[in-house]
A and B are shown apart, each in its own frame.
Chain A
Amino acid sequence: MVLNCKHVWDCISGYLDDTLPAEMRDRVQRHLDHCEICSAVLDSARNILILSADDLIFELPVGFSQRLHARLDQEMTS
Chain B
Amino acid sequence: MKATTEPRDEAQMIASILAGDTQLYHQLIRPYERSVYMMALSYMKNEADAEDVAQEAFLKAFHHLTTFRAEAKFSTWLIGIALNEARSRLRREAALRMESIDDTQDQGGHTSPAILRDWREVPSEALERKEVRQMLQQAITNLPTIYREVFVLRDVEELNNVETAAALSITVGNVKVRLHRARLMLQKQLAPLLRNMNPKRRWIPWF
Contact = CB atoms under 8 A, between A and B. Distances in A.
Nearest to A37: B115
Contacts of A41: 113-116, 187, 191
B87 interface: no
B117 interface: yes
A76 B51 contact: no
Nearest to A8: B113
Interface string A39-78: 0111111111111111111101100110111011101110
Nearest to A45: B187
- Name A's interface SS: helix
A54 B127 contact: yes
Contacts of B155: 49, 52-53
Contact of A40 (B41, B119, B206): B119
Contacts of B124: 54
Interface stretch (B55-63, B74-82, B95-103): B55-63
Interface residues of A, number: 42
Contact of B38 (A9, A42, A45, A58): A58
Contacts of A56: 127, 133
Nearest to A9: B113
26 contacts: A6-B110, A13-B183, A13-B184, A40-B115, A44-B187, A45-B183, A47-B204, A48-B186, A52-B155, A53-B155, A54-B127, A56-B127, A57-B133, A57-B136, A58-B137, A64-B33, A65-B30, A65-B33, A67-B51, A68-B33, A71-B55, A72-B25, A72-B58, A75-B62, A76-B25, A76-B62
Interface of B: 2, 22, 25-26, 30, 33-34, 37-38, 41, 47, 51, 54-55, 58-59, 62, 110, 112-121, 123-124, 126-127, 132-133, 136-137, 140, 151, 155-156, 158, 176, 179-180, 183-184, 186-187, 190-191, 194-195, 204, 206
Given A40-B118, A72-B25, A76-B25, 10 more contacts: A9-B184, A12-B183, A41-B114, A45-B113, A47-B120, A48-B191, A49-B155, A49-B183, A58-B156, A71-B59
